[in-house]
Structure 1
């Protein structure tokens, strides 16, 4: 059954196919943080030694117990999520969460810390099994146009739940004698709400019911990582997400020491800084959804990278040095320099939203449907490994004498390095960034009919050729990365040939110039279509000199004879008379004669069958799509 997209992001939250899932995952994340924060406060301030360990070591033990299930059981969780109905598994897991919350509540009432540590391990186990389900169910219940919005809600909801759970547990623990008891009761109530919400989640049938479940977690963990690594783009998305959790774990861990040791503040100031960071995450997530044009826009990921590094660097510069004097929140806010620190926190969060939301959507949309949950399980394993590495490296750097602001500087530089390695391995990230930035700064591009572009599989896209900016605009707007067939002389242009090479353009010469080159180009086009890629050609062969659509060349039929694939007709409107067109003789001879931010439209028609398709008929269809506006 086809899914009709919601008209607005808020409407999506009210839809049964998403709202109950969002509430279920919000309750789970909230409960995790209420329980973890309460237990850490109990160990630190009230419980004395735990298992013969000092409070500082006991806190590290607790953190390790929560993460351990991700290493041991993520592989099994991914297999079960691929094999069985996801909504049914979610209800089972949420029912188990109620039992875990009851055990935790008993532990809080009796102050039995060992029982609480067992409950903490079980809570981590619950999160291990729930993670692959909540991310892999989204593509089954959401329209492709809603996937970015769904991930924006999940990402922002998770961080808001972290903030709300941490703050509320701290407030309850401040109540003498009964604070921990109240937290225990709260976890049971919230677990019940999560279970009730889960019963409203619609069915999500298994994509791989024939899958044989392996209980060898070492072998299966390795197999899941290999599954993810088969698709380089997806694997790099997993590494990017895991790196953000490395950075985020460092920030969340060091908030309190930073406020106390660098700013001289108290618990209320810790909550304020944490709140500004999470407001930034939520803002960035929804800005990302708005700027993405309802498809997975990888061009925003490098912008998120720059935003994180720039403002983490500025946070290092803005942080005071020397021994701080104690200050209240009101006193802190009264200082103009303090607002710079708050702005840095918000902007790091916004960069995080830009960075992670497209990566999560990419992971879901480009994973093989039958393997999606196992790939998400591989992501959870990598996330856990990166968070453990974050704790170890942070401890090592602090022991070596680095200050917390210097840690922020190191992370800002490492963020650029890691992102650079990812973007070098998958140039699509920075290519989309360049194209998106140019098309949204020079033009106001309004696409229509993008749903007619096949989401996967081989296809031939055909468009009129109006200006030298056509390929960049198309690259920045189309929902999937095309491979352009371009003139070999343009391909050698000194300043931009690296861009053509990175985007894997296929250069072609005329038969009169180089017959062998033409044959090589057709062979490369055939290989690309055999591999399921989207090939883009401008069948006029040259940019128009009068604004009209020229005759189409015969190469179109040669391609379709070898690879009879769907043909997607497109038309660009509004570019004639612009800086990159030949409206005034030579292109780029007059600096923006019509100004900047002119409206341009891309109209995408329904795909045409290749059988019997003639160039003159295709030209007429594109002319019809374009209309009178050139």
Structure 2
């Protein structure tokens, strides 16, 4: 082999080795590990609290499919609403203040928020002023956790380039995303499995641990000379929308992602009432369905990255979201023909899993989510690679804002359909039209890939 060829081969192997070991090395570094653990615990607590709250209200407080779907929809909307109100402000803060200091204030607030939520859960569990005080407290804490997540979201992405080397950023981002999915899965499982009193202790304990860990995040001073934050949410949001809509690739990415999360919001609102009233299953089965959905998104994320081999492209996105629609139709048909009756009031997990259609239902649900993950993950890469580096935080904030508006509308529509008495199975079909919109946006985005100049590396 010629010396030059041997040199190229050696260099390629060396780079491959660096990529393979970067993730392992980062997990031992103070410049990354505290942030990784802080984000993991943040996602864990969000999902543990939200699922414990919704499952308890649906299964222990109300006994009406219409009311349960409505409450589930309101819970999703309440959590997402702060992203609509404060995403623009949070994006500015992520660029104009020390991110590590903001994280500490956010995590300190989480302790207070979870304490309020815990009081509401205890009151509801003991039957004390359930509708007049306990449930309002639960929703106040849920809204506050939404505010908490709104301000933490842009920081977790914007801080990585400050603490990591250029060739470590991708590995760091991947680890943060993987940790988030794991935390969502664990939070959902704990929310369904833990007794309500144990959940109240857990959410406060996790908040305390998260605050202690976040204090180890290294300083991350602002990288811009701008210091004035626009605290007017309407004006700041209008500016953010203009920014995101002015870049064609960013516009199509944000809108396609937003339609996807609208579908996810509608489905997540329907899962718990669907499990109870159509599948006649208990709250542990509902939790299993939510876990299966999140696991599917994680699988789809890994699959599309392997398929694209690191290339940031939307070439598979349209086909993925159309596949999602096809799997959604088959899931609907399986729910329609489900006519099994439990021996007691509701199927337990063990009883549910041995039913003839159970595995097909769960497999179908996983496939819906796999297709969703394959659709949305490449689009997220466009948010930070199709803008200048100093605009990356605004790009993420713009996506959070617009996606949240869509999700609030989607959750409201789902809750409204339930309140109007439309059967839960039929509500599943409301997402199909959104799949078509998303596919068209993905096609336009992919078409732009062939027209753009390589302006951003």
Partners in 1 of 2:234 and 2:115 — Cα distance? 32
Q: Describe how 1:145-164 pairs up with structure 2 within 5 A.
A: 150-164=172-186
- Pair 420,43 (structure 1): closer, same or farther in 2 beyond 3 Å: same
Give unmatched runs, 5+ long, in structure 1.
Answer: 49-53, 174-178, 429-480, 482-502, 505-527, 535-630
1:433 — aligned with what? none
Counterpart residue number, 2:89:
76
Larger Rg: 1
Give the corresponding residue for 2:200.
184
Alignment counterpart, residue 122 of structure 1, candidates 144, 155, 160: 144
Residues 533 and 93 (structure 1 numbering): CA distance in 2 closer, same or farther, change over 3 Å?
closer
CA–CA distance in 1 between the matches of 2:359 and 2:88?
Answer: 45
Would the aligned equivalents of 2:321 and 2:438 in 1 still touch at CA under 8 Å?
Answer: no
Displacement, 1:299?
2.8
How far apart, CA to CA, are the structure 2 residues paired with 1:47 and 1:403?
21
TM-score normalised over the length of structure 2:
0.80
1:166 aligns with 2:166: no
Q: Give the SS at the match of 1:170.
A: helix
Unaligned 5+ runs, structure 2: 1-16
Q: State the 1:231 CA deviation.
A: 1.4
2:292 aligned to which of 247, 252, 276 = 276
Q: Superposed, which structure 2 residues align to 1:279-428 within 5 Å?
A: 279-321=295-337, 323-326=339-342, 327-335=347-355, 337-398=357-418, 403-424=423-444, 427-428=447-448
Give 2:37's aligned residue. 23
Q: 1:532 to 1:63 in 2, by over 3 A?
A: closer
Matching of residues 185-204 of structure 1 within 5 Å = 185-204=201-220
Please report how far the alpha carbon of residue 363 of structure 1 lies from its aligned counterpart in structure 2 after TM superposition.
0.8
- Corresponding position of 1:220: 236
Q: 1:323 to 1:345 in 2, by over 3 A?
A: closer
CA contact (8 A) 1:65 1:124 kept: yes
Q: TM-score, normalised by structure 1?
A: 0.60
Moved over 6 A (4+): 45-48, 54-59
Change in CA separation of 1:188 and 1:334 when aligned onto 2, cut-off 3 Å: closer
CA contact (8 A) 1:101 1:187 kept: yes
1:137 paired to 2:159:
yes
**Distance across 2 between alignment mates of 1:184 and 1:329:** 23
Which structure ranks higher in relative contact order (CA pairs < 8 Å, sequence separation ≥ 6)?
Answer: 2
Q: Assess, with a 3 A threshold, how the Cα gap between structure 1 residues 170 and 395 changes in structure 2: closer, same or farther.
A: closer
Alpha-carbon offset, residue 220 of structure 1: 0.6
SS at match of 2:20: coil
String of CA shifts for 1:451-494, please: whole Å, max 9, x gaps.
xxxxxxxxxxxxxxxxxxxxxxxxxxxxxx5xxxxxxxxxxxxx
Tell me by how many angstroms 1:76 deviates. 1.3
Answer 1 or 2: which has greater helix percent: 2
Q: Deviation per CA, 1:43-63, whole angstroms, max 9, x where unpaired?
A: 556779xxxxx9887666554
1:359–1:424 CA distance, 2 compared to 1 (3 A): closer
* Kept after mapping to 2: 8 A contact 1:302/1:355: yes
Alignment coverage as a number of residue pairs: 423
CA contact (8 A) 1:163 1:275 kept: yes
Does structure 2 conserve the Cα–Cα contact (< 8 Å) formed by 1:94 and 1:198? yes
What is the deviation of 1:203?
3.8
Alignment of 1:36 onto 2:50: yes
Query: Is the CA contact (8 Å cut-off) linking 1:145 and 1:295 kept in structure 2?
Result: no
Distance in 1 (alpha carbons) for counterparts of 2:332 and 2:68: 30
